Chain A
């Protein structure tokens, strides 16, 4: 068994003259959870459309276990499970009917299908609801069935798009356990999420997309470590002064700056020099500082550093 389960090389995709993917490359290993972060328009959806076989790239290659997916699309589709962000289930059918149907379209039949459906219903903790219609379930329950429907044919790679968006903590925790169990079973998972704690908790490795490229990759720890020299300071003023703000922006040590009402969030590679300079400037401008805070680098900070945007923007 080779190391790479999925290998994506130099993907290029252009829509109406707009280059959405710009030579994007990454790999997915066996038994790995790969977290993918990226602002809107970074190319995540296009990449997943290509990786799921819905869309063809203009250039580049997608290989699964060493073969090109475009030349063995049917075989490839049987090997992957896709969990869409929307609840893509038949609302007028029960949980059991939905899972049975999706099993059948993947060629799972008879006793094997029945056993798999029962196993999945148990794993998503919905045994007592197996004959309930999807329309009667809560949002969290629907999300769990949505995931189960992608696992019915025992895929090697599962692609999940925001699998826990808008659900209760209990369902979220159940889904996290389910994802971790998939890795234990030797499956690989690609997961996109706007919840940074979800990516930090689940991912073995993280990719950050921006402008159609992978701008950062590695484990959560390595990404934070590589970027821990970017300190984040939060300076809160009683009343911010536009002239002061302009002078702070011009400081050499300031890498990025975000302003929220009277609060200024600054990243800098210099330890305390930037704070010294801000104190000097505020004193000159006679603007009072309410509070100064130092924040430990998080994955969200790394994301912001590479994309210039916060998660969810």
Chain B
């Protein structure tokens, strides 16, 4: 009987450690759902731009657009100018863009037309897929065009009543000796440095792990630090003093922030000098990280206020980190997950951070160009810090 009393006592005590329950049971379920959804085998539809700078009434140009729209992997968006399309590729609204230049149809008649394919090579998975699909698309298109050209050649060379075998020879000769495809793709990459610089390998890992360990330091260590002060009563002493609560919290955040900033410097220093991770716009990179650290520290503060015990603070911290890491693309590039999850990620502080840091290190983005992502992170900071101030840092915590 005593054995059962002891056993029941353990379960009764578990009520006080709800954080542990969350970590042990809810987080794995959540991770299974998120990771499963992220890597399921559904066909991805890429948004691709189309710009026709040539004759809008051309049958060829119209035929290319119609055929392109029939490719199931593409959702085609038409643009008036090449610049507009490139901007949308740059800000990741579309995955790539096909441009038919002025005189395209006329050049095609001479068998020398060039179509321009613009892709963002920083997204190396999607850019490779698009290059492959477009290449195959024009291969099929060229086959059709060349059959027409061969027929034309035969028509020009032969007269009615000639030997049909001669016609076949003429067609064969054309196809064998033609110097180039009627339409060829000229590829253009918008990442400024090289095709090697994409969010893969060390680039993704350095950014993702920096963000994740900033979360660990700010949320786990930050919340434990405050909980410890609540348990020992020193936080009560501070609150009883004439210092404003905002000053107490700001000092805490700064302390955690400085440690996290060193963490960022070390991670990126090693990433850059040992693994050739680009840093892009250094000013933007530093400010982005400072804003992210402020937000993460503030989240730690909120966890410390919600959690009553050290163990529940650890539980809550793990829950938040395990929630934000995969959803924000810290473990794998965002481009490989479904569009809906990419959209969710862009509204999370981690997702916004990854999108912004990608633009910063690969494209040298300025603060203005990542202002949308910065805004998302700042909104989270204001919300979490504001709630913390409103609730107040005290409250009885117990070991």
Among residues of B, the one whose C-beta sits closest to the C-beta of A79 is: B242
| A88 adjacent to B241 (CB under 8 Å) | no
**Minimum Cβ distance to chain A for residue B15 (Å):** 20
| B233 adjacent to A84 (CB under 8 Å) | yes
Count, A-B residue pairs, CB within 8 A: 41
Is B147 an interface position by the 8 A CB rule? no
Report if A88-B394 is in contact (Cβ < 8 Å); known contacts: A74-B242, A77-B242: no
Neighbour of B237 across the interface among A53, A84, A91, A107, CB < 8 A: A84
14 A-B contacts, Cβ less than 8 Å apart?
Answer: A53-B240, A54-B239, A74-B242, A75-B242, A77-B240, A78-B242, A84-B237, A86-B232, A86-B233, A88-B232, A88-B234, A88-B237, A89-B232, A102-B241
**Minimum Cβ distance to chain A for residue B331 (Å):** 35
Neighbour of B241 across the interface among A75, A89, A91, A105, CB < 8 A: A105
Residues in chain A near residue B127, CB distance under 8 A: none
Residues in chain A near residue B394, CB distance under 8 A: 54
**CA–CA, A107 and B241, complex, Å:** 10
Neighbour of A105 across the interface among B232, B236, B243, CB < 8 A: B243
Interface size class of B (residues with CB under 8 A): 10 to 19
Residues in chain B near residue A102, CB distance under 8 A: 237, 241
Is A195 an interface position by the 8 A CB rule? no
**CA–CA, A111 and B244, complex, Å:** 25
Among residues of B, the one whose C-beta sits closest to the C-beta of A102 is: B237
The 4 closest A-B pairs by CB, nearest first: A88-B233, A86-B233, A77-B242, A74-B242
| A82 adjacent to B233 (CB under 8 Å) | no
**Minimum Cβ distance to chain A for residue B14 (Å):** 26
**Contact residues of A with B, CB < 8 Å?**
52-54, 74-75, 77-78, 82, 84, 86-91, 102, 105-107, 149
Is B238 an interface position by the 8 A CB rule? yes
**CA–CA, A88 and B228, complex, Å:** 11
| A82 adjacent to B237 (CB under 8 Å) | yes
Residues in chain A near residue B237, CB distance under 8 A: 82, 84, 88, 102, 149
| B240 adjacent to A52 (CB under 8 Å) | yes
Residues in chain B near residue A105, CB distance under 8 A: 238, 241-243
Neighbour of A77 across the interface among B232, B234, B236, B241, CB < 8 A: B241
B204-245 contacts to A, CB under 8 A, are: 232-234, 236-243
**Minimum Cβ distance to chain B for residue A118 (Å):** 21
Residues in chain B near residue A53, CB distance under 8 A: 240
Residues in chain A near residue B234, CB distance under 8 A: 88-90
Residues in chain B near residue A149, CB distance under 8 A: 237
| B233 adjacent to A87 (CB under 8 Å) | yes
**Minimum Cβ distance to chain B for residue A106 (Å):** 6
B370-399 contacts to A, CB under 8 A, are: 394
**CA–CA, A77 and B240, complex, Å:** 7
**Minimum Cβ distance to chain A for residue B248 (Å):** 9
**Minimum Cβ distance to chain A for residue B11 (Å):** 27
Residues in chain A near residue B238, CB distance under 8 A: 105
Residues in chain A near residue B236, CB distance under 8 A: 54, 84, 88
B237-260 contacts to A, CB under 8 A, are: 237-243
Query: Which of A74, A89, A91, A105: most chain B CB closer than 10 A?
Result: A105
Neighbour of A91 across the interface among B232, B242, B243, CB < 8 A: B232
**Minimum Cβ distance to chain B for residue A239 (Å):** 33
Neighbour of A87 across the interface among B232, B239, B243, CB < 8 A: B232
A77-B241, A84-B236, A149-B237 provided; 4 other pairs, C-beta below 8 A?
A: A77-B242, A84-B233, A88-B236, A91-B232
Residues in chain B near residue A89, CB distance under 8 A: 232, 234
| B242 adjacent to A54 (CB under 8 Å) | no
**CA–CA, A221 and B118, complex, Å:** 96
